[in-house]
Amino acid sequence: MSKKDWLNSIPLRIGYYPAGFVDGEGSFNVSIRKGKGYRYGWQFAFAFNVSQRDKVILSLLKRYLGCGHLKQRKDGLWSFVVENQNSLIEKVIPFFEKFHFLSSRMQRNFSVFKKIMTLVSTGRHVEPEGIKEVLKLREKLNEGRGRKRKYNLTDVLFPKEKSSETIRWTK
């Protein structure tokens, strides 16, 4: 089934219900992992997730998006998570382009996440300038949520101990 056929097969009353739920409870995330085996010492991880005690709506999202997985924490909270880059680009983004968010917070986060995933789809996120762009956009993602990131822009671009490789790509 083509992307257009897949999206058109979702009834509007069904698509807008989980989209509205995600508008209040969902999150688009970009995290950074540090490691010696990564080309520039850092690797990005991209994710969309939504959590809830009742997994019915999460199962509906999984069914209609056709990707992701459900997991349950020890405290009983369920999460629907999509981490696969192709699924984020080909399923999650088109779904929420069709079934829009109403809150300005989620509209902004989705817009920033789409820009980041555009860099990913072109492969720019693994090159020095693309890494900088992703990091700058990431700073805008989920702003004002009161959460501290383990690594921020200055940790990656201006690490305390600079290797010769890091010095080359931060110039």
pLDDT digits (tens, 9 = 90+) for 73-118: 999 999 999 999 999 999 999 999 999 999 999 999 999 999 999 9
Domain residues of the chain, as ranges? 3-170
Lowest average pLDDT, out of 72-76, 128-132, 140-144, goes to: 140-144
Of the CATH numbers 3.10.28.10, 2.60.40.1930, 3.40.640.10, 3.40.309.10, which one belongs to the domain with range 3-170? 3.10.28.10
Q: Are 47 and 29 in contact (CB under 8 A)?
A: yes
Buried b (16+ CB within 10 A) or exposed e, 30-53: bebeeeeeeebbbebebbbbbbee
Q: Can you name the residues that pair with 52 across neighbouring β-strands?
A: 78
More confident site: 54 or 149: 54
User: Does pLDDT of 148 surpass 70?
Assistant: no
First-last CA distance in the chain: 46
pLDDT reading at 151 higher than 70: no
Q: Which has the closest alpha carbon to 23: 140, 83, 115, 102?
A: 102
Q: pLDDT confidence of 144, banded at 50, 70, 90?
A: low
Q: Looking at the chain, list the stretches that DSSP marks H as alpha helix, in order from N- to C-terminal side.
A: 3-8, 12-25, 56-65, 85-87, 93-98, 104-121, 128-140, 153-157, 164-170
How much is the pLDDT for 141?
86
Name the more confident of 72 and 140.
72
Band of residue 36 on the pLDDT scale cut at 50, 70, 90? confident
Least confident of 3-7, 63-67, 111-115: 3-7
**Tokens standing for 20?**
């509205």
And the tokens for 74? 């020890």
Q: Given this model, what pLDDT does residue 165 score?
A: 53
Which of 147, 150, 161, 50 shows the shortest CA–CA distance to 96?
50
- Residue 171 amino acid letter: K
